[in-house]
Structure 1
Amino acid sequence: MTQRLRIVLAEDEALIAMYLEELLIALGHDVCAIAHSEDETVKAAGLCRPDLMIVDGNLHGGSGVAAMRRIQAAQGLVPHVYVTGDTLAIAQSVGQAIIVRKPFNMDELEQAIEQAVPTRPHAGR
């Protein structure tokens, strides 16, 4: 498992957001914000300064791809994983994205997190 991460979760469907939050907490991470729209996602990223973002492709008032472009223009590289039912649209829009296809399980989510934020060795090891 990766180190404990502060995560912003961007998901427009409340039940999926709750499920993702439970999985992330079970994996040992902190969910510092849940956003349902593109604008909320950008605001949450600015306030929380997360280690990782879990982002749906479709958000109220926009998209996860547009939100991540805005966030990275303001903050630089922010590791992120797209969790979406439309993997082709994300792949065509982003290219080198880390994508988890809905429906997903905990192992798939954990592998994507490891890919987005590889475990860093601790000093002295």
Structure 2
Amino acid sequence: MTEGLRIVIVEDDALIAMDLADLLIGMGHDVRAIAGTEAEAVAAAIRCKPNLMIVDGNLAEGSGVSAMHRILARAFVAHLYVTGDTAQIQRAVPDAVVVTKPFSMLGLSNGIAAALRAPTERPSPQGK
């Protein structure tokens, strides 16, 4: 697994975001930002230029899927979704890398590895 990634977390539950950040830092990664809304996610991606984004599908303000569509329209960023509703993500983004909440360290590690292996060009999202 690649160490030392620059990561942006997109998660609107502060406790989950902090726990995820602690886990990622413990794995040797650099958590550059935690965004809680779609708008914050887009701004953080532009500002931080991450190697990887870990994104919750449902946000209190906006959508993680919509945020990634907006970010990917600018430039590719490896990403994975961490969500309790995997079916919703798979319907919206059929080729998405998804880790189900609650997740284990192994599940997260495998998800990160899969996101880093994913193609850098993806088909245009439906309806966007």
Q: CA deviation at 1:53?
A: 0.1
Q: CA deviation at 1:10?
A: 0.3
Identity %: 57
Q: Which one-letter code corresponds to 2:35 in the other structure?
A: A
d(CA) in 2 for partners of 1:3, 1:107: 15
Q: Which one-letter code corresponds to 2:4 in the other structure?
A: R
d(CA) in 1 for partners of 2:17, 2:35: 9
Poorly superposed stretches of 4+, deviation over 2 Å: none
Structure 1 runs not aligned, ≥5 long:
119-125
Aligned to 2:58: 58
Q: CA deviation at 1:34?
A: 0.3
Aligned pair count reads 117
Q: Which one-letter code corresponds to 1:43 in the other structure?
A: A
Q: Secondary structure at the match of 1:62?
A: coil
> TM-score normalised to the size of structure 2?
0.89
d(CA) in 2 for partners of 1:99, 1:107: 13
Q: Cα RMSD over matched residues?
A: 0.8
Structure 2 runs not aligned, ≥5 long:
118-128
Q: Secondary structure at the match of 1:59?
A: coil
Q: Secondary structure at the match of 1:71?
A: helix
d(CA) in 2 for partners of 1:108, 1:28: 16
